[in-house]
Chains A and B, each alone.
Chain A
Amino acid sequence: MSVEAHEIIPMPQPEPAGREESIPEAARRKLSSPWASGLVILITILWTIPTFGLLVTSLRPSSQAQNSGWWTIFTDPTMTLSNYSEVITGGSVIPNGIEPYFWNSFAIAIPAAIFPLVLASMAAYAIAWIPFKGSTFVFFTIFALQVIPLQMSLLPLLTMFNKGWSLGPIPIFPDLNKPGSEQSIFVGTYIPLWVAHTMFALPLAIFLLHNFVSQLPRELFEAARVDGASHFLIFRKLVLPLTVPAIASFAIFQFLWVWNDLLVALTFAGGTPDVAPITAYLASIKGSYGSQLHLVTAGAFVAIIVPLIVFFSLQRFFVRGLLAGSVKG
């Protein structure tokens, strides 16, 4: 391939080491040209305008928000926070506030981000570094599970929670109904949501973390073994600290995914205010008070505060060069 390139373009032969570095350099040079910068700014503005419009709408008094577009704010700058207080605690228009749903979302999303991470990081280490028969098979099976759309498993999973599962006469998962009632003991708890989100997240989490963990230098693990460390100690003292960038990025994605999820939440929690998340609340006020745009937008902004905080507070974990200095350099 390089021979062809030389035939077409008579160039001095690039040095192998220099060539690898020149690709990002070239990309950076191209992307930092004034034209590219201008284009990026333009796109950013275009993409931000609708969000900005929603923000403005959420801050306008109800009568104005109903009768004029948000851009009239520039000529008639009346703003109020009453929409937010109405949405958060409930008020004259919406009887129930967003607040309990807000805490529900936390109660769902935090464990649903932690469980798969704990399981997946352990599985990733085991598959990558503990030699056992069939580890490749296990890895590829997990990898293959990613292609199954989660919609396929929603109903079987729901049946499992409600009626148990059995293969003919052999029970695989017990029927966990409350004695003498048709209701599963899981109803009104977060457990089905945690389990479902964990199950749906695991294949991708294991795959991503495995790829990261398997890139750690082999000698590091060998040194630890010679130093007397057990697998669990190696996992805790080496793998976890060195995998922080991957764990943090997956934690962000998983948390945001669960926070923004509506489908799984509706399937497993329904609309019960005890356990339903903020997305279910937004969907319901959108249905009931769709014309009250200023209230719906206020609710939406309450809901996106958390993803923003999560993203900005965890992004510092996207650090590079954490391995620098370990093996020769």
Chain B
Amino acid sequence: MTQRVHYDDVSLVYPGSTKPAVSHLELDIAEGEFLVLVGPSGCGKSTSLRMLAGLEPISTGKIFIGDRDVTNVPAKDRDIAMVFQNYALYPHMSVAENMAFALKIQKVAKDEINRRVKDAAALLDLTDYLERKPKALSGGQRQRVAMGRAIVREPEVFLMDEPLSNLDAKLRVQTRTQIAALQRRLGTTTLYVTHDQVEAMTMGDRVAVLKDGILQQCASPRELYDNPANAFVGTFIGSPSMNIIPSLITEGGVDMNGFLVPIERDILGKASGHEVIVGVRPEDLILSAEGAEMTVTLVEELGADTYVYGTYPSPEGPVDLVARGQGLAAPKIGTNVKVNPQRTYVFDATGDQKRLS
């Protein structure tokens, strides 16, 4: 039933535009996998998903569901189920009718429809609401109806286009775990689009990061965090986000305003100029007696952690840094402190800012 999905060098250029909305996307989603597409708005993640749904055209390339080339198959024949950001429930139909709509079109037998709708309703805690119209439901319930409409289909692929972004923060966290658990249980291949990296990291088996229509990296959440392929992925994944420090190469490492950060020679040898970007996760940038000097602008004490925000004069102008205070007395705003990177990522300063280390 469930199938793998393959994007084979897929591009989309909208008519009248020179910049591709999605450029040479090469992506494989394994059977039963939960893959999350994440990226800033306008990065082409929704477009990629809608291309798989058949709601957007494809300029070049092919899309496969299983072994079937669906590139030119209309949306209605693709056997996919989609959950929309605003749910798109049929307003004049009850919850049960909403869920049964697709099955009726497929001419599934009536008692089979009833069974599937009942099962899905039980699974989603909607049994009491089956006869209600969408307007008599709360936001969370509507979201679950949209999920139910997808589940009863027992499709080859689930597509979810930011299904949680209309829920309030608390419900979102709750529903996030429910959807992930549900997907594991049903084992249906799922492509999930979000702009929220926390959602991506917590839900996905693998996460694909997109920017400007180009796939930056596709890996497991841990791998993305530990081994970002470039500076964009480094800063996009993780909260607070990675510090990006433009620095000049010197003998034995890079120079941070007089403080030497040792970096191996052969890593720096790959740099395309005299400058590299040093990426440091906030938890790896600690206040210490030895280090580069920055001016404190804000201190956040969160109980377990203390984050110290400051400005640091880099060769490219002042940059904002976030450092972790280790249970020390928090520094005062306006004072100068020294920060010491414990672990660094080195990115090329030009082009795609590829990772060098």
Residues of A within 8 A of B (CB): 217, 219-220, 222-230, 233, 237-238, 241-242, 321-329
Complex CA gap A242/B75 in Å reads 22
Give the 9 A-B residue pairs with the shortest CB-CB distance, closest first.
Answer: A325-B135, A325-B134, A219-B88, A326-B91, A227-B102, A327-B86, A324-B135, A223-B88, A225-B75
A326/B89 contact (C-beta < 8 A), A226-B55, A227-B105 known: yes
Binds A, one of B6-14, B76-84, B249-257, B281-289: B76-84
Complex CA gap A81/B106 in Å reads 61
Question: B326 within 8 Å of A by Cβ?
Answer: no
Contact of A219 with B80 in the complex, beta carbons under 8 Å: no
Q: Which residues of B contact A242 (CB under 8 A)?
A: 91-92
Complex CA gap A238/B74 in Å reads 19
Q: Which residues of A contact B76 (CB under 8 A)?
A: 225-230
Q: Which residue of A225, A230, A322, A325 contacts B89 across the interface (Cβ within 8 Å)?
A: A325
Question: B87 within 8 Å of A by Cβ?
Answer: yes
Shortest distance between the CB of B224 and any CB in chain A (Å): 29
Complex CA gap A19/B74 in Å reads 44
Of A220, A225, A226, most buried by chain B (CB within 10 Å of CB) is: A226
Contact of B91 with A226 in the complex, beta carbons under 8 Å: no
Q: Which residues of B contact A326 (CB under 8 A)?
A: 87-91, 134-135
Q: Which residues of B contact A219 (CB under 8 A)?
A: 84-88
Q: Which residues of A contact B96 (CB under 8 A)?
A: none
A233/B105 contact (C-beta < 8 A), A226-B76, A325-B134 known: yes
Complex CA gap A326/B82 in Å reads 15
A226/B86 contact (C-beta < 8 A), A242-B92, A324-B91, A325-B91 known: no
Q: Which residues of A contact B136 (CB under 8 A)?
A: 325
Chain B 144-183 interface mask (CB, 8 Å, partner A; 1/0):
0000010001000001000000100000000000000000
Q: Which residues of B contact A328 (CB under 8 A)?
A: 85-87, 139, 142, 166
Complex CA gap A217/B84 in Å reads 12
Q: Which residues of A contact B139 (CB under 8 A)?
A: 328-329
Complex CA gap A95/B136 in Å reads 61
Complex CA gap A223/B81 in Å reads 9
Q: Which residue of B55, B89, B106, B142 contacts A222 across the interface (Cβ within 8 Å)?
A: B55
Question: B137 within 8 Å of A by Cβ?
Answer: yes
Chain B 38-55 interface mask (CB, 8 Å, partner A; 1/0):
000000000000000111
A329/B135 contact (C-beta < 8 A), A225-B54, A230-B76 known: yes
Complex CA gap A186/B82 in Å reads 53
Nearest opposing residue in chain B for A244, CB measure: B92
Q: How many A-B residue pairs have CB under 8 A?
A: 96
Contact of B88 with A325 in the complex, beta carbons under 8 Å: no
Contact of A226 with B134 in the complex, beta carbons under 8 Å: no
Complex CA gap A228/B74 in Å reads 9
Q: Which residues of B contact A322 (CB under 8 A)?
A: 91-92
Extra inter-chain contacts (9) besides given A222-B55, A222-B75, A227-B149, CB under 8 Å: A223-B84, A226-B78, A227-B76, A227-B105, A237-B101, A324-B91, A325-B89, A325-B134, A328-B87
Nearest opposing residue in chain A for B159, CB measure: A226
Nearest opposing residue in chain A for B166, CB measure: A328
Complex CA gap A227/B100 in Å reads 10
Q: Which residues of B contact A327 (CB under 8 A)?
A: 84, 86-89
Contact of B91 with A229 in the complex, beta carbons under 8 Å: no
Q: Which residues of B contact A222 (CB under 8 A)?
A: 53, 55, 75, 82, 84, 88
Shortest distance between the CB of A130 and any CB in chain B (Å): 12
A229/B105 contact (C-beta < 8 A), A323-B91, A326-B88 known: yes
Question: B338 within 8 Å of A by Cβ?
Answer: no
Question: B133 within 8 Å of A by Cβ?
Answer: yes
Nearest opposing residue in chain A for B139, CB measure: A328
Q: Which residues of B contact A227 (CB under 8 A)?
A: 76, 81, 101-102, 105, 149, 153
Contact of B80 with A226 in the complex, beta carbons under 8 Å: yes
Q: Which residues of A contact B135 (CB under 8 A)?
A: 321, 324-326, 329
Nearest opposing residue in chain A for B79, CB measure: A228
Complex CA gap A328/B162 in Å reads 13
Complex CA gap A224/B135 in Å reads 18
Q: Which residues of A contact B80 (CB under 8 A)?
A: 226
Complex CA gap A226/B106 in Å reads 12
Q: Which residues of A contact B166 (CB under 8 A)?
A: 328
Contact of B88 with A217 in the complex, beta carbons under 8 Å: yes
Contact of A228 with B102 in the complex, beta carbons under 8 Å: yes
Q: Which residues of A contact B142 (CB under 8 A)?
A: 325, 328
The B281-301 residues at the A interface (CB cut-off 8 A) are none
Shortest distance between the CB of A164 and any CB in chain B (Å): 42
Contact of A325 with B133 in the complex, beta carbons under 8 Å: yes
Q: Which residues of A contact B91 (CB under 8 A)?
A: 242, 322-326
Complex CA gap A230/B75 in Å reads 10
Q: Which residues of B contact A325 (CB under 8 A)?
A: 89, 91, 133-137, 142
Complex CA gap A227/B135 in Å reads 21
Shortest distance between the CB of A121 and any CB in chain B (Å): 16
A225/B55 contact (C-beta < 8 A), A220-B90, A326-B90 known: yes
Shortest distance between the CB of A107 and any CB in chain B (Å): 32
Contact of B82 with A223 in the complex, beta carbons under 8 Å: yes
Q: Which residues of A contact B78 (CB under 8 A)?
A: 226
| A-B CB contact pairs (8 Å), 5 listed | A222-B84, A223-B82, A224-B101, A227-B81, A237-B101
Of A230, A323, A328, A329, most buried by chain B (CB within 10 Å of CB) is: A328
Q: Which residues of B contact A241 (CB under 8 A)?
A: 92
Contact of A226 with B81 in the complex, beta carbons under 8 Å: yes
Shortest distance between the CB of A136 and any CB in chain B (Å): 14
Complex CA gap A323/B75 in Å reads 24
Q: Which residues of B contact A228 (CB under 8 A)?
A: 76-77, 102, 105-106
Complex CA gap A234/B349 in Å reads 53
Complex CA gap A241/B53 in Å reads 26
